[in-house]
Chain A
Amino acid sequence: MIRRVNEKIGYLFVGPWILGFVVLTVIPTVAVLVLGFTKYSILEPPKWTGLSNFIDIFFHNPRYWRSVQATLYYALTSVPLKLAFALAVAMMLNTGHKLLGVYRAVFYIPSILGSSVAVAVMWRQVFGTDGLVNGILRVLGAGNITTSWLGDTRTAIWTLILLSVWQFGSPMLIFLAGLKQIPTELYECAEIDGARYWRRFFRITFPLLTPIIFFNFVLQMIFGLTAFTQAYVITGGAPLDTTNFYALYLFQKAFTELHMGYGAAMAFILLIVVALFTAVVFKSSPYWVFYQSGDN
């Protein structure tokens, strides 16, 4: 009797979450999958068009592939850079600084604020023709430099990569926690055996950090592949589609050009790609991730 009442209360506790999950996540996801097969302008009801959206995406739309290229370039550049930076700073902080807590907080703040619109607007300013970067360069003697970093086809995407790398604080904290879990006896043994710093790093630190690296890598890649806000506010996909990230192009197609079905088809493809990527990384993990519990 009491167990049944407990169960009932359990279900009621989960009730709001389940309702939210179904209504706000499951149903829209299914709707998007279905809308990918329609032509839908949002001002009129959808019309079934079968595979025509997908055919256009894959075979008739060079802008789509440019967008894929831009997204991959962004993700595959910013994620390794960000993780390398995070690990490096975590290792430096792990030497037992007195002000460790302060540094941790300071480095973490960009992570919290970074994906906000306010920071994106500020970033526009910083890299503008009269912005902070040019101001500093002028002080350092670069003459009357007025490069528009955001409008130059070679540098625009790097302003976004830099913004992503600037938010290294979040993976850094996770690396710090991981570093603290490595037993110090291992280092002491290695020192006694005469191993130098980099040897210790590659033989002890790195392998034992692979679970964390794995976690951070998957998470950050997903963020990278689905990046939107920064591209939307800072560059708008310009110049020449070099920063026209997948999620941004999808948004333009769906909301600005009123081709919702097309955007839904793109979303469908993105979902599959991200799922496949995650599955591949997970499947490959036994070969390079070492858990201290001794599974491998």
Chain B
Amino acid sequence: MMKRTLVFCMMVALTAATAFAGGKSESTASPNQKITLSIAWWGNQSINQHTLEVLKMYQKDHPNITFSPQYPGWSDYWTKMDTLAASSSLPDIMNQDYAYISEWQSRGQLMPLDKYVQDKTIDLTGVAKAAISGGIIGGKLYAVDLGTNALAFVLNTDLFKKAGVALPSDNWTWSDFSRIATQIHDKLGIWGMGYGLDDANQWRNLYLGTGQWVFSADGKSLGFPASQDSVFVNYLKMVKSLENSGSIPPISDIVAHANQGVETRAIVSGKSAMGFMWSNQVVSMWEAAGADKNYTLMPVPRLASDSQSPNYVKNSMFFAITKDATHAQQAAEFINYFTNNVDANKVLNAERGVPISPAVRDALKPTLSKPIQAEFDYVTHVAEIGSATPPPDPPGASTLQWQLYGTQVFQPFMFGKMTAEQAAAEMRTLASRNLGQ
């Protein structure tokens, strides 16, 4: 009888445990009550390590706060965040990106931060307007920039010297690029350029360099007329001829390397003399290649030596506070620490881009390693010669550029399934079907 009762109780307990497992604990915090801040970001090995260190530093100064971090890789990050958004369990603080922020804000997932800036919980004194404006949508600030960034071509100066090819000038053109890539291939037998020509950013840059933007003002179609498709057509033809001459990797190789970390790029192993990446990725790339290597950063090639610069200063990524945040005040305080604390930024090493706080930048300057110095100098340079930052991408643009451009336009062209003209037309069709969705 006793045994039966015991088993009965265990079974009830087991069923109950299954039913009630996994509840979320909520609490309104009093200053010394233990709270957990959940935070999510994307990164690579190096960024993740340094960020975790900063979290530990903050916890030491604020013993009542523990962090619950998660850091998927870039390609999984948005899938994860979408799922959390659907179940209203987004982390307190999340990484945001220019390409996605308007979509998230328009669906009410982010909390406005203006009141924290006004009462100096988040102190943005002295920060350049360009660094803040990226996070402003509809007149309200939704996200704080973690660093400024710019697209760059990275050139291995040692290999250039070995090939006897002169470094190009600042306003080099795509024909200069093509010529240089071929020369290096002829002289050294390696690829002149690595994997980056399939990046949809090239398509964006092309049109920025014509003085237009790829998206229309209403965000429902392309921002340039069909008569301007020839710009893209010529670019595609250039890429094909580079592939034919062996100056860039074959398309099957490019496809196999898509979405892999920056450490797998051809320029890291010396298989190519040039590479393409964001200026903040240069630091990780340089570390992977070896501190003894010598690289220089060049702006994106122009269409003609006197046409507009295709470069612009971009907010590399943001921190935003989500609508599910249970401790918004503490989250804001942490964002302030992340932005303005000099020791934290010494650990973070500007891997997310050049810090926006002028005090932090000045404090970091003397300690900068070669790669980071190069990054800082380059971004400052682009701020001088570059075009104005384009507006944030409209909804549907992320699908168009990062999913469809590769598989439906660039790859079919390179595999010979489409002509360049057809590829440009397909891009236009896909745009009208996907933008504004």
Q: Which residues of A contact B (CB under 8 A)?
A: 5, 8-9, 12-13, 15-16, 19-20, 41-44, 63, 124, 128-129, 146-148, 150-153, 236-241, 244, 252, 255-258
Contact = CB atoms under 8 A, between A and B. Distances in A.
A44 B107 contact: yes
Contacts of B8: 8-9, 12
A244 B403 CA distance: 13
Contacts of B250: 148, 151
Contacts of B411: 238-240
A129 B103 contact: no
B11 A12 contact: yes
Nearest to B260: A124
B107 A15 contact: no
Contacts of B256: 124, 128-129, 148, 150-151, 238
Contacts of A42: 82-83, 85-86
B407 A15 contact: no
Contacts of A129: 253, 256
Interface stretch (B14-22, B272-280, B327-335): B14-22
B55 interface: no
B172 interface: no
Q: Would you list the 5 A-B pairs with minimal beta carbon distance, nearest first?
A: A151-B252, A12-B11, A151-B256, A43-B107, A151-B255
Contacts of A147: 252
B78 A256 contact: yes
Contact of A9 (B11, B254, B403, B415): B11
Given A20-B18, A129-B253, A252-B403, A41 B107 contact: yes
Interface in B248-270: 250-259
Counting chain B CB atoms within 10 Å of each CB, the highest count among A13, A20, A236 belongs to A236
A237 B104 CA distance: 27
A147 B254 CA distance: 12
Contacts of B259: 236
Nearest to B82: A42
Nearest to B9: A12
Interface in B282-316: none
Contact of A241 (B7, B103, B407): B407
A46 to B, nearest CB: 10
B216 interface: no
A239 B415 contact: yes
Given A19-B19, A43-B103, A238-B258, 13 more contacts: A9-B4, A12-B8, A15-B15, A41-B107, A151-B250, A151-B251, A151-B253, A236-B258, A239-B415, A240-B417, A244-B407, A255-B82, A256-B78
Contacts of B407: 237-238, 240-241, 244
Nearest to A6: B4
B377 to A, nearest CB: 34
B82 A13 contact: no
B33 interface: no
Contacts of B252: 147-148, 150-153, 239
Interface of B: 4, 7-8, 11-12, 14-15, 18-19, 78-79, 82-83, 85-86, 103-104, 107, 109, 250-259, 399, 403, 406-408, 411-412, 415, 417
A124 B250 CA distance: 17
A128 B254 CA distance: 11
B19 A153 contact: no
Contacts of A150: 252, 255-256
B373 to A, nearest CB: 32
A73 to B, nearest CB: 18
A5 B78 contact: no
Counting chain B CB atoms within 10 Å of each CB, the highest count among A13, A20, A150, A258 belongs to A258
A230 to B, nearest CB: 15
A92 B86 CA distance: 53
A44 B82 CA distance: 11
Contacts of B417: 240
Contact of A256 (B15, B79, B85): B79
B85 A43 contact: yes
A239 B15 contact: no
Nearest to B404: A257
B416 to A, nearest CB: 10
A178 to B, nearest CB: 37
26 contacts: A8-B8, A9-B4, A9-B11, A12-B8, A15-B15, A19-B15, A42-B82, A42-B86, A124-B256, A148-B250, A148-B252, A148-B253, A150-B252, A150-B255, A151-B252, A151-B253, A151-B254, A151-B256, A236-B258, A237-B407, A238-B407, A239-B411, A240-B407, A255-B79, A256-B78, A258-B82
A9 B7 CA distance: 8
A255 B412 contact: no
Contacts of A20: 18
A283 B256 CA distance: 43
A237 B109 CA distance: 30
Contacts of A41: 107
A12 B12 contact: yes
Contacts of A241: 407
Given A43-B104, A151-B254, A257-B399, A16 B18 contact: yes
Contacts of B109: 43
B11 A15 contact: yes
A285 B107 CA distance: 52
A239 B82 CA distance: 26
Contacts of B399: 256-258
